[in-house]
Structure 1
Amino acid sequence: MSNIDLAYYPGCTLSSTAREIDEALHQVCKRLDINLSALPDWNCCGSSSIHAVRPQLAVSLAARNLFQAQSTGRDLMVMCAGCANRLRVASNQLRSDDTSRRVNREILGDVLDQDLRVHHLMDLLPGRLKERPYRNALKQPLAGLRYVPYYGCLLAAPPELKTYPRLHGSMESVMAWLGAEALQWGYQAKCCGAFLSVARPDIVAPMVTDIMDKAISAGAECVVTACAMCQLNLELRSPAHLRLPVFSVVELLACGMGSADLPRWFKRHLIDPLPLFKSKRFTI
């Protein structure tokens, strides 16, 4: 067993509306001897609409962060699904597209080598939890919690990212370590509407309604996701008669490892998870 040293890109969401996920992430990583060093001068990865309107600008925004990580000599870790997607796409383009390499060398004065990897936390967790020093890290089992895993579309890697590991099954592995019960359903990669939630809630609301309806039909008591944008959309756009608590997997993992911060984190949720925790007699 050895420490894992990684550069860390928090991104806009985990630095603002999802600060509780960032806190939980750091607690979990510290417990698992994953050392995170935040990029000192990170910027927006170019998520949402920039890559559709100005593709080369989107690559340059991501490239600036990649070059910072490269200068540390460490791989880069990201928790946000959207950030992971954009940084990985840019990484591939900077390696394979001569125009992108030339443009960003002129703008940013650097080129990307072949060694830098962009990790999502879920790449690392299942294997890490199986290592001997961490097998007994569970302080608060979540036995009996029935959930559906929701990866969303951004963690369902497109063909251009086939060199990165598929994440499907990773949340189930982590939640099994916690003692929770995964339920079968067919919506784990269905899009929640992502950033359309701001501009076109009329489109997103029916999409979220469908997802939550299927989760309840499957018998779930909650939804567990690894994407902060998905968590926000599912809570914000679900109708009053189809409201289930939505957790970030890293929140529940921190809970299982004995974090005392859940009451404060849960206050930031738009759907109160406390009644569910009380009904299951989980300690927080």
Structure 2
Amino acid sequence: MSTWMGTTTLRSQNSSSWDSGRQEQEEALCRLFLCMYLFTILGNLLIILAISCDPHLHTPMYFFMVNLSSVDICFSSVTVPKVLVNHVVGSKSISYPQCMTQIYFFITFINMDGFLLSAMACDRYVAICRPLHYTMIMRPRLCVLLVAVSWVITNLHALLHTLLMVRLNFCSHNTVSHFFCDPYPILKLSCSDTFINELMVSVIGGLISITPFTCITVLYVCIFSSVLKFRSMQGIRKALSTCGSHLTVVSLFYGVILGVYMHPSSSYSLQDIVASVIFTVVMP
């Protein structure tokens, strides 16, 4: 958790409300976060290494998977190391510039995950519903373009929200009811009018989040419609097996987002806070 000292530091909840009676619980959580973080980093690095070393895996689907693993490493690294460092040094603060930087990259990587998952769904759709045209449609140039456009959109979106956040005024010492600089709790600390920020979160943020989810949903409806037309059970099983792991990740990703963020931010409980941190570690 983190703090603003003076006009440039944010204070996190665990330095004020997490008293000595919860010290053991805090230490247990930090050990858990460290283990999960290391598992996430090593797991994704192994995926990247395995795909890079095997020429047979140099296909569009695995190209997107390498990008997803890279983003997931960065996503976890945005929040967890700072939490662990704060615990080790006994400091519960984060500077204002660090907090804004954390917000920027948090927004970038969480949205990039959604776009890459939708690109992978597109690849599965073409492979199952347009198999004869797969090579012609999923060309390397198109795959690179999809990833590049996704990076541009997510970075512009993160930059917009960060710049809108920077214009806000924050009064003296501030306590953030979170382990890291989540944009929603930070907005609640501002002494300025946050109407524009909340409007942009609802409109543009909602659009950026809903678009990949809608795309994935539509593509899977088309995939299942095509699969049901298969006459061979072996063909059905093969088609579904290629989508199973991806569909599981999509369900977990959007399920946790709905559970953690789709409710009034003022009602965040300790369980929600811990869940959001675990989301940044476990989901990747």
The normalised TM-score by structure 1 is 0.22
Structure with greater strand percent: 1
TM-score, scaled relative to structure 2: 0.22
**Structure with the greater alpha carbon radius of gyration:** 2
